[in-house]
Amino acid sequence: MHKENKNKAIQIINKLKEYYNLKNDVDFAEYLGIPSTTLSSWKSRDSIDYDLVYSKCVGIDANWILTGAGNMLISTRENSQNSLLKMEDNIKNKYILQLENENRRLLVDNERKQELINLFINGDITTSKRKKLTKRMVI
C-alpha cells in the first residue's frame, strides 16, 4: 500500500475536524453523535462509517468522503438543496421529539388522574394525597 493511501481515514477525519473548527477527536465524535472510542476504532482500522459521516457533514462531497480525493465541498446548488433537506429533517425530528415528550407527560398525567379518581371512589382521599397527585397535573 502506498504511504499516501495509508491512513486515509485519519486524513479525512482531520480535514473534517479542521473544516468544522473542532479541536479534537472527542469534539468530532460528539458532532457525529458517536462515542470517541468508535472514532478511535475508525482511525486504527483506517475505516469510516461513510453513511454516518455523509449524513452529519452537510455540504461535504460524498465522493471526497469515500476517496479523500477531489473537492471536499459539494457544489453550491447541491449544497443548498442538501442543507434545506437536512434542515427539514432536523425540524421534523425536533417536532417528533416534542410530541413524544408531550405524550409521555400526558400518560403520567392520566395515571395521576386515575389514581385520584380511585382515591375519591374509595373515600381514601386526604389533602396531602390530593396535593401530591395534582402537582404539575393539567386539570
CA atoms of 19 and 129, how far apart (whole Å): 57
Residue 21 lies in a domain: yes
Residue 72 lies in a domain: no
Q: Are 14 and 54 in the same domain?
A: yes
Q: Are 62 and 97 in the same domain?
A: no
CA atoms of 101 and 107, how far apart (whole Å): 10
Domain count of the fold of the chain:
2
Burial of 38 (0-12, 13-18, 19+ CB in 10 A): middle
What does residue 4 show for φ and ψ, rounded to 5 degrees?
-70, -25
Residue 75 lies in a domain: no
pLDDT, one tens digit per residue, over 33-89 is: 999 999 999 999 998 998 898 888 888 888 888 888 888 887 655 556 666 677 677
pLDDT at 10: 92
Q: Is the pLDDT of residue 4 over 60?
A: no
Q: Is the pLDDT of residue 2 over 50?
A: no
Residue 2 lies in a domain: no
CA atoms of 54 and 51, how far apart (whole Å): 5
- Which three cell numbers mark 121? 371512589
Report, as an integer, the average pLDDT of 13-32.
92
CA atoms of 13 and 65, how far apart (whole Å): 9
pLDDT at 77: 58
Q: Is the pLDDT of residue 136 over 70?
A: no
What's the Rg (C-alpha) of the chain? 25
